Amino acid sequence: MFNKLRSFFSSKKNITYTVVIAMFWLKMTFIQGGVFALNMENINQSAILAFNPLSSIFLLFGLGILLAGRKGLLGAYIIGSILLYANVLFYREYNDFITIPMLGQAANLAGLGGSISDILSASDLLLFVDVFAAIFLLFYLKPSRFQSFMPRRKEGLIMAMIAIPLFIVNLAWAQTERPELLTRAFDRNLLVKNIGVLDYHVYDTLVQGQTKMKKTFADSNELVPALNYINEKKVEPNSEMTGVAEGKNVIVLSLESTQTFVVDNTLNGEELTPYFNDLKEEGAYFSNFYHQVKQGRTSDSEFLLDNSLYGLNRGAAFFTHAGNEYEATPEVLGENGYTSTVMHANDGTFWNRNTMYDSLGYDEFFDKEDYDVTEDKSFGWGYLDEYFFSDSLDKMEELDQPFYNKMITLTNHHPFTLPEEKKLIEEGDTSSGTLNRYFQTIRYQDEALKQFVEDFKASDLYDDTVLVIYGDHFGISENHQKAMGEYLDKDINDYEQFQLQRVPLLMIGEGIEPKEYDTLGGQIDLRPTIMNMLGVQDENPVQFGQDLFSEERDEMVITRDGNFANEDYVGVNEACYDRETGEEVEADLCTPGFDEAEEELGLSDSIVYGDLLRYLDETEMIEEKSSNNTDK
């Protein structure tokens, strides 16, 4: 077989195949090894990365020829190049790869504005030079140099079939580095490193089809493992905090792209968050609180807040599963006399919020159409925070009480730009323009927060309201580790990058003791904590979070990519670190933590993908009947 293959590609007639494949292979190798930060750890991994483009190239080009001959080959080359470039842009922004569900969120691109222009580069044109070379080679090269290239459909079929053994060899080789690669795939970087970006998209397509089937064939029995797991981990909330805010309003303020590293930190001797630094002395401040979002970003943080379920590893539940049945915070509070609202001065369709909020049980959504959004009050992503805060407070004073209100800010959003007159400090001087501008938008946000909180304190709402302020997700991605190291004056390894996933959490209100907590927690814990303070009996047993004030809670936080931190260790990308010192320790010490993270994330995914909460009443009745039989 391989002799025939060698003779096929070495013949003068078919040398064009060799040249075209070589060009695209070089392109993929350059992008995978030079653009994506895939962290090659040894020669074997580098060799796998160099080999893995071949199966996808043979499949793509073979199908192109099979469908449309020479034109099909060129079309396949162009499609492959566009897909690679789309991943380059996505990776620059999110340090992640495109998934099928994310393609369904193309409507969001209309709102990205400056973010897209910021990640484009003039040098990107070089990534398409080979496309023009392929056009010339296939259609304009003189026959005197190469024999006229007219591929036959049969040859396309042969190429597509060759892709199968190439992929089998690739997968077997990859599994010498990562056993069970395709069955334990929480990390897309790991997948691309081992099977290549184009084969990853084939895999992602198959996974998407499988997840669609899960809901169709799901039944109530699939909810039982999650219920058993949650019951085993269940802890009693802090009884002293139970009902401290009973009957009070709740304002949950989600601060866009706000990370804990800016708190109590300075730039050129000036505090980045001077107001928040003082404000946190007035309430319960959690310094080891982590975001747990993935591709859904802010919408994932909302999903975590209202459901105590994890967002998805692929796409955003706000888009892919807005039609599910939920027993979310707004619905439960509505049964206890609360009005539930959201205030966000962006388009109502962005992240499919207008649909998802109905599913979650919100009574009203104040979006862009409800605010006085004018050109002089807007910049970058839209309505500036200072105006959003002022208008929102006016709206809250008109709401029926008690209310549960979620506010989502906009200004501190990538690419972190401001009008000149709103810049309260100088830019940073690191090697990243993104980080340098981030300091300015964080400082602006802090000043807008000051205006809001001081006006709130002076309002009639203050004495009857609990204010919860938290960061929704990171603002500075792993792509800026060098610059973060320059600013923080330390090397940013995996351990330090994990610590940078902390976001601030502050709760202020009567009955909440001003104190800094070093409790390990995450956004999954917000719902049970708030519900306990309100004294509301939350009857939904399907929640993975625990009361942050509970003295019995597990010292464990799990991130959406399968990493974790517990009382002793931090597990990141299969490596293990001492939590206190940051020193790398024996990997086996983190195995139980990784296993727990995988199990918990898998159970949460099964609930969302299978829409299993629709069976909650049925499952409860089965358990109750079983219990009654036992009593007899």
Q: Which are the catalytic amino acids? A: 298
Q: Count of CB atoms within 10 A of residue 132's CB?
A: 9
Residue 60 Cα distances to 57, 192, 276, 290, 346, angstroms: 5, 17, 53, 41, 40
| Spatial CA neighbour of 129 closest among 198, 52, 26 | 26
Q: Count of CB atoms within 10 A of residue 204's CB?
A: 21
Name the amino acid, one letter, at 536. Answer: V
Q: Are strands 584-585 and 575-578 parallel, antiparallel or unpaired?
A: antiparallel
Cβ neighbours of residue 115 closer than 8 Å, sequence gap 6 or more: 93, 413, 414, 415
DSSP letter string, 170-225: HHHHHTTTSTTTTTS---HHHHHHHH-HHHHHHHHHHHHHHHHHHHHH--GGGGHH
Give the separation between CA 332 and CA 317, rounded to whole angstroms.
20
Q: Count of CB atoms within 10 A of residue 81's CB?
A: 19
Give the separation between CA 178 and CA 186, rounded to whole angstroms.
12
Give the separation between CA 403 and CA 395, rounded to whole angstroms.
12
DSSP letter string, 374-391: -GGGEETTEE-HHHHHHH
Q: Are strands 403-408 and 339-343 parallel, antiparallel or unpaired?
A: parallel
Q: What angle do CA 350, 311, 308 make, to 5 degrees?
A: 110
Provide the residue count of the chain.
Answer: 632
What's the number of CA atoms in the CB half-sphere (13 Å) around residue 542? 27
Write down the residue that tokens 């897209």 correspond to. 116
DSSP tag of 363 = S
Q: Tell me if 363 sits within 8 A of 330, measured CB to CB.
A: yes
Give the separation between CA 503 and CA 474, rounded to whole angstroms.
7
| Spatial CA neighbour of 309 closest among 95, 8, 601 | 601
| Spatial CA neighbour of 396 closest among 302, 346, 331, 461 | 461
Give the separation between CA 407 and CA 305, rounded to whole angstroms.
12
Sign, CA torsion 550/552/556/558? negative
What's the number of CA atoms in the CB half-sphere (13 Å) around residue 464? 13
In the chain, how long is the greatest CA-to-CA distance?
93
